Chain A
Amino acid sequence: MVRFENVGMRYDAGPEVLRDVTFVLEAGSFTFLTGLSGAGKTTLLKLIYLAEPPSRGLITLFGRDLATAKRTALPALRRRIGVVFQDFRLLDHLSAFDNVALPLRLAGKRVSDYARDVEELLSWVGLGDRMNSAPPTLSGGEQQRVAIARAVVARPDLLIADEPTGNVDPEMGARLIRLFSELNRLGTTVLIATHDRTLIETARAREMRLVDGRLVELRASAA
Chain B
Amino acid sequence: MMNNSAHVLPRDKGAAPLDFVIAVMAFLAALALGASLIADRAAAGWQSGLAAKLTVQVLPPETGDANAGLQAQIQAALDVLNATPGIAHAELISDTDTQALVEPWIGKNNLVSEIPLPRLIDATIVPGEEVDVAALTQKLKQAAPSALVDDHSRWIGRLGALAGAVRYSAYAILLLIAGATAAAVSFATRAGLSAHHEMVELLHQMGALPSFIARTVEWHYFISALMAALAGTLVAAVLFLGASGLESFGVEAVPFLPPLSLKWTEIPWLLAVPAATAAIAWATARISVLSVVKAIY
Q: Tell me the B194-234 residues at the A interface (CB within 8 Å).
A: 198-199, 202-209, 212
CB pair B8 A75 closer than 8 Å = no
Bound together, the chains give a CA A83 to CA B203 distance in angstroms of 12
CB pair A98 B297 closer than 8 Å = no
Residues of B within 8 A of A97 (CB): 1
CB pair A91 B199 closer than 8 Å = yes
CB pair B202 A89 closer than 8 Å = yes
Asked if A52 lies at the interface with its beta carbon under 8 angstroms from chain B, I say yes
Q: Please name the residue on chain B nearest to A131 by beta carbon.
A: B1
Interface residues as binary, A65-100 with B (CB distance below 8 Å gives 1, 0 otherwise)? 000000000011111110100000101011101100
CB pair B203 A51 closer than 8 Å = no
Residues of B within 8 A of A78 (CB): 204-207
Residues of A within 8 A of B118 (CB): none
Whether A95 touches B207, Cβ cut-off 8 Å, given contacts A50-B297, A53-B297, A89-B202, is: no
Q: Which of A6-14, A104-112, A208-216 contacts B (4 or more CB under 8 A)?
A: A104-112
Asked if A103 lies at the interface with its beta carbon under 8 angstroms from chain B, I say yes
CB pair B206 A98 closer than 8 Å = no
B90 to chain A, nearest CB (A): 77
Bound together, the chains give a CA A189 to CA B199 distance in angstroms of 26
Asked if B3 lies at the interface with its beta carbon under 8 angstroms from chain A, I say yes
Asked if B2 lies at the interface with its beta carbon under 8 angstroms from chain A, I say yes
Residues of B within 8 A of A81 (CB): 207
Residues of A within 8 A of B198 (CB): 89
Asked if B45 lies at the interface with its beta carbon under 8 angstroms from chain A, I say no
CB pair B207 A91 closer than 8 Å = no
Asked if A49 lies at the interface with its beta carbon under 8 angstroms from chain B, I say yes
Residues of A within 8 A of B208 (CB): 75, 106
Residues of B within 8 A of A105 (CB): 2, 5, 8
Give the size range of A's interface with the partner: 20 to 34
Q: Tell me the A98-148 residues at the B interface (CB within 8 Å).
A: 98, 101-103, 105-106, 110-112, 115, 132
Q: Please name the residue on chain B nearest to A105 by beta carbon.
A: B5
Bound together, the chains give a CA A76 to CA B209 distance in angstroms of 8
Bound together, the chains give a CA A106 to CA B5 distance in angstroms of 9
CB pair A79 B207 closer than 8 Å = yes
CB pair A76 B207 closer than 8 Å = yes
A214 to chain B, nearest CB (A): 24
Residues of B within 8 A of A77 (CB): 207
Asked if B10 lies at the interface with its beta carbon under 8 angstroms from chain A, I say yes
Q: Please name the residue on chain B nearest to A111 by beta carbon.
A: B3
A161 to chain B, nearest CB (A): 14
Bound together, the chains give a CA A195 to CA B138 distance in angstroms of 108
B110 to chain A, nearest CB (A): 91
CB pair B205 A91 closer than 8 Å = no
CB pair B10 A98 closer than 8 Å = no
Q: Please name the residue on chain B nearest to A82 by beta carbon.
A: B206
Listed A/B pairs (28) with beta-carbon separation below 8 Å: A51-B205, A51-B297, A52-B297, A75-B207, A75-B208, A75-B209, A78-B207, A79-B207, A83-B206, A89-B198, A89-B202, A91-B8, A93-B7, A94-B2, A94-B7, A94-B8, A95-B1, A97-B1, A98-B1, A98-B2, A102-B203, A103-B207, A106-B206, A106-B208, A111-B1, A111-B2, A112-B3, A115-B1
User: Given A78-B207, A93-B7, list of 8 further CB < 8 A pairs?
Assistant: A49-B205, A50-B205, A75-B208, A79-B207, A83-B206, A93-B10, A112-B3, A115-B1
Chain B residues at the A interface, C-beta cutoff of 8 Å: 1-3, 5, 7-8, 10, 198-199, 202-209, 212, 297
